[in-house]
């Protein structure tokens, strides 16, 4: 599973955050996503989803799901709701 974050147009990760609280928030979000959808793979293509958290700040992240087919994306979106 590929989980990434973009804050204000820049790719960030918990490892390169200067603020420990912000790093913790990203780590927690990533862990929760992995817990909910980490085992989901496309039964036809054997692919896992790609999830990108985007926003102007950590306070307003929205998540985009992409994958090999609509069936995979539908399953992931259902688990994330």
Give me the pLDDT at residue 2, please: 93
pLDDT-derived band of residue 20, with 50, 70 and 90 as boundaries?
very high
**Tens digits of per-residue pLDDT, 24-38?**
999 999 999 999 999
> Among 1-5, 15-19, 24-28, 52-56, which is the least confidently predicted range?
15-19
Mean pLDDT of 41-59: 94
Query: Which pLDDT score, from 0 to 100, does residue 65 have?
Result: 94
- Domain containing 8 equals 2-80
User: How many structural domains are present in the chain?
Assistant: 1
- Please give the full DSSP string across 2-65, using - where no structure is assigned: EEEEEETTEEE-GGG-SSHHHHHHHHHHHHHHHHHHTT---TTT----EEEEEESSGGG-EEEE
pLDDT computed for residue 28 by the predictor: 94
């Amino acid at each position: 599973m590929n989980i990434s974050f973009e804050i204000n147009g820049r790719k960030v990760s918990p490892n390169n955050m200067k603020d420990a609280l912000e790093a913790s928030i990203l780590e927690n979000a990533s862990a929760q996503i992995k817990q909910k959808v980490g085992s989901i793979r496309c039964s036809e293509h054997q692919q896992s989803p790609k999830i990108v958290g985007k926003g102007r700040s950590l306070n307003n992240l929205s998540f985009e799901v992409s994958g090999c087919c609509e069936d995979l994306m539908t399953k992931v979106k259902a688990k994330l709701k």
